[in-house]
Amino acid sequence: MHTLDQLHRGELKGIVRLQLSDNLTDFPEAIYDLADSLEVLDLSNNALSRLPDDLCRLKKLRIVFCSNNLFTELPSCLGRCPQLEMIGFKSNQITQVSSSSLPTHTRWLILTDNQITDLPDDMGRLTRLQKLALAGNQLQALPDSMVDCKRLELIRLSANQFATFPDVLLTLPRLAWLAFSGNPFCAPRDSHDEFKTVAFGDLALHQVLGQGASGVISLATWQRNLFGFDDKVAVKVFKGQVTSDGFPEDELDACLAVGYHENLVTPLAKVHKPDCSALVMGLIPPHYTNLGLPPSLASCTRDTFAEGQILSIATIARIVEQVEHLVAHFCQQKVSHGDLYAHNTLINEEGHVLFGDFGAASKYGNLSTERQLGIERVERRALAFFIDDMLSICAEKDKQSEAYRTLSEKADLQI
């Protein structure tokens, strides 16, 4: 994080990335002093409602983040920035997105949690678009021209107003990560009476084990254990607001709809009270670690890995086999996970996989057979990308093996 004082004193000359959060209401003119070097501009968490028309003076600008501000329209000046390819305006008050505000070479567009009702008719000209996050808006349809967004790999459409499933998505040859829950065309949430319901008063929450966009996971013990569960469990308390993936209630619904599987974190019981939902889960043993790291700005939609991380082809094959069984289970339960990634995968020293995080999951059993099959093709494509990512960290000595060739061909068939 930088400060206005640093900017005005000229201390930031030559920097590539600028991050300012200081209750700004106006764009600081001193930012132009960085025009020869600035590539990433992050003005999130301010009170801005406009950007200057001459923003293109920042001639090297590639990335702009202005989340949690007061914009009511996506600024048209963005479309005149010659190098701009990543745009993030999450959690503003945007109702309008004009064609002129979107550079043709846009690769990453984040407009989550706004009030957008329509996208430009010519969205299809964004042929480099890979990642599109639109959850928590008022969209009722996608432009037909999006059939030309053939590089699109990830889209989030949850918590909008789609009356029918947007079929244009099923024509996109690289789409792999899709979230659409919380729309009028979706099946209603299930009460999941097959799971026990417990009261918050039955549990005592202890230290936080992890947290994400949709909620906080804590270690818990029972004050009153009525059903013979293990003494120590994990409890995920869901936040009430829309997340980058959709409504937390839909995550809970999808997680319970998937049910039990040896490679899933075990759901045990529901916790419910007005304005707050939670899930009691089996405690993950401490020797499980994350298989991968989230995508970076450079990789956009693809996972990253720790520096020097290498796995044998035997370990990779064991991991892939388990994830394949898991995807088959998702299809059987008619739930699209929507976020099949190594960074959502836990693994122990024996190579056993545990999977979780249903924030982007969507139920689709109420849709037509054709749409169901299309959604399952999308999920299998995510599996293919998963395999491809795993092969990127394969030991060099194993890259000529038959197992490596088999997995590589399996990935190529779906990508």
Condensed to tens digits (0 to 9), the pLDDT of residues 273-319 reads: 777 788 999 999 989 999 999 999 899 999 999 999 999 999 999 99
Q: Which CATH number fits domain 196-281: 3.40.50.970, 3.40.50.880, 3.30.200.20, 3.40.50.150?
A: 3.30.200.20
Calculate the average pLDDT of the chain. 94
By mean pLDDT, which of 122-126, 197-201, 341-345 is the weakest? 197-201
* Mean per-residue pLDDT, 326-345: 96
Q: Which CATH number fits domain 289-414: 3.30.390.30, 1.10.510.10, 3.30.930.10, 1.10.3330.10?
A: 1.10.510.10
Query: Residue 415 — pLDDT band, cuts 50, 70, 90?
Result: low
- Smallest CA-to-CA distance from 253 within 283, 277, 220 is with 277
Rounded Cα gap, residues 107 and 352, in angstroms: 35
Rounded Cα gap, residues 254 and 133, in angstroms: 20
Q: What is the pLDDT of residue 75?
A: 98
pLDDT in tens, 186-243: 999 999 999 999 998 899 999 998 887 778 899 999 998 888 899 999 999 887 778 8
Rounded Cα gap, residues 319 and 139, in angstroms: 38
Rounded Cα gap, residues 184 and 52, in angstroms: 38
Q: Known binding site: residues?
A: 236
Continuous segment of H or E residues that includes residue 255:
helix 248-258
Q: Residue 224 to residues 162, 196, 411: CA-CA distances in angstroms?
A: 43, 14, 48
Q: Known binding site for ATP: residues?
A: 236
Pinpoint the residues of the chain covered by CATH 1.10.510.10: 289-414
Pinpoint the residues of the chain covered by CATH 3.30.200.20: 196-281
Q: Which fold has domain 1-152?
A: 3.80.10
